[in-house]
Structure 1
Amino acid sequence: MRIALASSNGDIVDLHLGKAVSLVIYDVVDNDFDFVETRKLAIDKDAKHQGGDVIQECNDCDVIISTKYGFKSKIKAEDAGIKLVSDEGPVEEVLQRYIDHYNFMNS
């Protein structure tokens, strides 16, 4: 599973999906996660409704985690087969919470 996290500095999930100027990408296998890359996005910080652009940049991801996201972004993500999750905090803690939740829901 590949997860993108909306982070301004690579350490903390702290960005709204539509304002995600950068994403950190991790691959998750079993209960381990490995850093893949940081993606810088050409997002206008003052413009609204850019969640669709972020989703397009994550077409190789299964999950995008951001602090918040809008209804239109949720629909676009579902159409693209991507799950949106709202969470915030240190990247590794957010990843672990998602993995724990995923494992619980699939056990």
Structure 2
Amino acid sequence: MKVAFASTDGIRVNEHFGRSGQFVVYEVEEEGYKFMEIRKFSEGRDRAIEESKDTPEVHNDLVWDKVKALSDCKIIYMTEIGPPSAARLSQKGIMPLKVKEGSSIEECLEKLYETIKTSPPPWLKKLLNKKEE
């Protein structure tokens, strides 16, 4: 199962979903987890999304492009996300998870892995059962 993190440095979750210029992607498996790649949308903050707020049609297209590019991820960690973006992720079967700014990606992965191994909540069981799709 792929998991993505909105991060400017690849170490901490420290960015809003829409503004994040990159997402760090990991694969979480029965044996553990491993780094896969960094998916870049822009250098630094995603200014195109920030600057398109006054033109809803353009803004919506940019957000959809980001959602589609992350659609193989089952969980995305971020510090904040707007309700429309959260709804778009949910429509694609992706669970948005807000965490405290500066949360360690490594600690998030450890906690997720431990939860999967011990007692995953219903929403996580559902995601795990869809991993073949």
- What is the letter of the counterpart of residue 111 of structure 2? R
Question: Which SS does the other structure have where 2:97 is aligned?
Answer: strand
Q: What are the ranges of 5 or more consecutive residues in structure 2 without an aligned counterpart?
A: 54-58, 126-133
Query: Are 1:44 and 2:47 counterparts?
Result: yes
Q: Which has the higher strand share?
A: 1
1:92 aligned residue (99, 106, 118):
106
TM-score, normalised to structure 1's length?
0.85
Contact 1:17-1:51 at 8 Å conserved across structures? no
CA–CA separation in structure 1 for the residues paired with 2:19 and 2:31: 29
Counterparts of 2:38 and 2:7, CA distance in 1: 9
Q: Any gaps of 5 or more consecutive residues in structure 1?
A: none
- Per-residue CA deviation, residues 30-85 of structure 1 (Å, 9 max, x unaligned), is 25110000111132163346644432220111111111111111110111111111
> In structure 2, the residue corresponding to 1:19 is in which secondary structure?
coil
Greater shift, 12-21 or 81-90, is seen at: 81-90
Work out whether 1:68 is the aligned partner of 2:80.
yes
Q: CA RMSD in A?
A: 2.2
Alignment of structure 1 residues 1-107 onto 2, 5 Å: 1-30=1-30, 32-42=32-42, 43-44=46-47, 46-47=50-51, 48=53, 51-88=63-100, 89-103=103-117, 104=119, 105=121
Confirm or deny: 8 A CA contact 1:19 1:51 kept in the other structure. no
C-alpha distance 67-86 of structure 1, shift in aligned 2 (>3 A) = same
Q: Greater Rg, structure 1 or structure 2?
A: 2
Aligned residue pairs, count: 107
- Measure the CA separation in 1 of the matches of 2:26 and 2:17: 17
CA distance in 2, matches of 1:31, 1:14: 27
Amino acid in structure 2 at the alignment position of 1:75: A
Structure in which a larger fraction of residues adopt helix? 2
